[in-house]
Chains A and B, each alone.
Chain A
Amino acid sequence: MLSGIKKSFLIALGVAILVSFMASFAFAASEKDVVAVAASIHECTNELAYQFEKQGLGKAPEVVSGASGKLASQIMAGAPFGLFLSASPEWTKKLEDEGYLYDVYPMATAPVVAWWQKDEPITTDTLKNKGLHIAIADPASAPFGKAAVEYLKSIGLYDSLMKEKRLIIMGSVEQAALAAKSGGADIGIFSLSIAKKLNAGNYVILPIDPLENSGGLVKGKDSENLKKFWNYIRSETADEIWKKWGFEPVHSK
């Protein structure tokens, strides 16, 4: 049916695809370990990884950050993350129950803050000012977003914010911070660690329980190196770094 030229083209096509495909596998040379962390723990983990390697304890893993819920879905879809650090136990518990995670423990607590870039101090009353736009992380996938919504409801602000469309929902706490910093929103509600990273403006710690950060190793994707890393970040030698970023370390085991 196919004339000679079409046949030879299709063959060349097939060969090219096959070769390229296999080549790309070869290209994917050295694979480092990857740890998936909630956006609020991003900077802190970067520093922990750096110290981990500097102190000769092992090789620093690559750090991928995002909203805890999104990372959890990726892990369930087979993403190559060996260690998962979540901003809340909700996600680690879910993964553990479904058989993806093991060695699950809390490692720190993280306060929730409201931040703005103005020079004047900000208080919980400031939130109630009229006409302000408030950026939060997506409550469906980010623990900080969920906490923010709960708080706003508790002070009776949620409904009016929603009605007047002044509540800006971003993908993760890092994005909420970006919104507040760039002026897209007046105030951002996210983690203390991010406020510290911004190193500008003013913040107030919200009067709610700090979130309990919890993490676990991913079955089948972890390594000896990552196990060492997981132990390291829960050890006392790592306390200083956690505190620097506004977390309160939690020791267990």
Chain B
Amino acid sequence: MTSSLIISLKVLAIDVPLLLIIGVTLGWILAKTEFRGKDLVDVLVILPIALPPSVLGLYLLMTLSHIPFVREAEILFSFPAAALAPLFPSLPIMIQAARSGFSSVDRQLEQAARTLGDSEFKIFWRITFPLSRLSIMAGLALASMRALGDFGVTLMIAGNIPGRTQTLPLFIYSNVEAMNFFEANIAALLLTAVGIISLLVVKKLEGKRIELS
């Protein structure tokens, strides 16, 4: 079980920063800009949430295995795939949280900052981000949990290879299948504990946010 734990931790270490950076960027773009085709992007961003993980995994598998570079680099069934697979179902959660956080910042505050001489970038750092920080952190916690617990998409494009791509959720599955219930239960308890802790963190952040507004 240790190797699965380590693999899951490595996946988190890679995914959490990516969720933050990509989620905040796309969330900001969707909240604050207009462009042609924005509606389409909106749908694409939300789509992974609406699709069953196995369908998502299947589409990813089909797309990836047809890109020549991917085959040669042996990305499928490898750790990089296990690290990136959970991003697909969890990024939409992060993007939506960031987006709604940014949208809820009073536009007038941003306009006031503009009249006081700030460029768009400065406005983001000094006004928009600090005021939506709590929403973003709550979204990050939820998205990270989704990434940690991913099963279907990881299984499809990374496979279930112990020591290489077998994350904790996959570990649980394999052990149940092989009827090693003891190990499976321990791993499940671990994931449950982490899930509960992160929910408590989210609750605390939400509480603070309501206080401040």
Tally of contact residues, A, Cβ under 8 A: 42
* Chain A residues whose CB sits within 8 angstroms of the CB of B178 once the complex forms: 42-43, 65, 174
What chain A residues lie within 8 Å of B119 (beta carbons)? 4-5
Asked, given contacts A4-B121, A77-B76, whether A10 binds B25 with beta carbons under 8 Å apart, the answer is yes
Residues of B within 8 A of A34 (CB): 161, 164
A20-28, A155-163, A224-232, A242-250: which lies at the interface: A20-28
Kindly report which residue of chain B lies nearest to residue A22, judged by CB atoms. Answer: B80
**Closest A residue to B81 using CB positions:** A24
Binary contact readout B132-164 vs A (1 if CB under 8 angstroms, 0 otherwise) = 000000000000000000000000000111111
Residues of B contacting A27 in the complex (Cβ-Cβ under 8 angstroms): 10, 14, 79, 83
What chain A residues lie within 8 Å of B14 (beta carbons)? 20, 23-24, 27
B177 within 8 A of A: yes
Q: Is B106 an interface residue (CB 8 A)?
A: no
Contact partner, B25, options A9, A39, A78, A174, Cβ 8 Å: A9
Residues of chain B within 8 A (CB-CB) of A8 are 121
In the bound complex, what is the Cα–Cα distance between A22 and B33 (angstroms)? Answer: 31
Least CB distance from A184 to B in Å reads 13
Q: Given A13-B25, A197-B179, are A77 and B162 also a contact pair (CB < 8 Å)?
A: no
Quick one: given A5-B124, A17-B22, are A78 and B76 in contact (CB under 8 Å)? Answer: yes
Q: What 0/1 pattern do residues 59 to 83 of B give for CB contact below 8 A with A?
A: 0010001000001001011111001
A178 engages B79 (CB within 8 Å): no
Residues of B within 8 A of A42 (CB): 178
Do most interface residues of chain A lie in helix, strand or loop, or is the interface mixed?
Answer: helix
Complex: A66 Cα to B178 Cα, angstroms = 10
Nearest A-chain residue to B82, judged by Cβ: A24
Residue A208, interface by CB 8 Å: no
Q: Are A5 and B176 in contact (CB under 8 A)?
A: no
What number of residue pairs across chains A and B have CB atoms under 8 A from each other?
A: 101
Contact indicator B179/A198 (Cβ below 8 Å): yes
Say yes or no for A238: interface residue by CB 8 A criterion: no
Q: Cβ of B120 < 8 Å from any Cβ of A? A: yes
Given A5-B124, A13-B21, A24-B79, also A74-B159 (CB < 8 A)? yes
Q: What distance in Å separates the Cβ of A190 from its nearest Cβ neighbour in chain B?
A: 12
Against B, the Cβ 8 Å flags (1 = close, 0 = not) of A27-49 are 11001101000010011000000
- Residue A64 lies at the interface, judged by CB distance under 8 Å to chain B: yes
A153-191, CB under 8 A of B: which get 1 and which 0? 000000000000000000010110110010000000000
Report if A6 contacts B (CB, 8 A). Answer: yes
Given A4-B119, A24-B84, do A80 and B163 touch, yes or no (CB 8 Å)?
Answer: no
Chain A neighbourhood of B52, CB < 8 A: none
- Closest chain B residue, CB of each to CB of A77: B65
Please, which residues of chain A bring their CB within 8 A of the CB of B76? 77-79
The answer to the question of B171 belonging to the interface, with a C-beta cut-off of 8 Å to chain A, is: no
Cβ–Cβ < 8 Å partners of B80 in chain A:
21, 24-25, 28
Which residues from chain B sit less than 8 Å from chain A, CB to CB? 10, 14, 17-18, 21-22, 25, 28-29, 33, 61, 65, 71, 74, 76-80, 83-84, 119-121, 124, 159-164, 174, 176-179
**29 pairs, A vs B, C-beta closer than 8 Å:** A4-B120, A4-B121, A5-B121, A9-B29, A17-B18, A17-B22, A20-B17, A24-B14, A24-B83, A27-B10, A27-B79, A28-B79, A32-B164, A42-B178, A43-B178, A62-B164, A65-B174, A65-B178, A66-B160, A77-B65, A77-B76, A79-B77, A79-B159, A80-B77, A80-B161, A80-B164, A174-B179, A181-B179, A198-B179
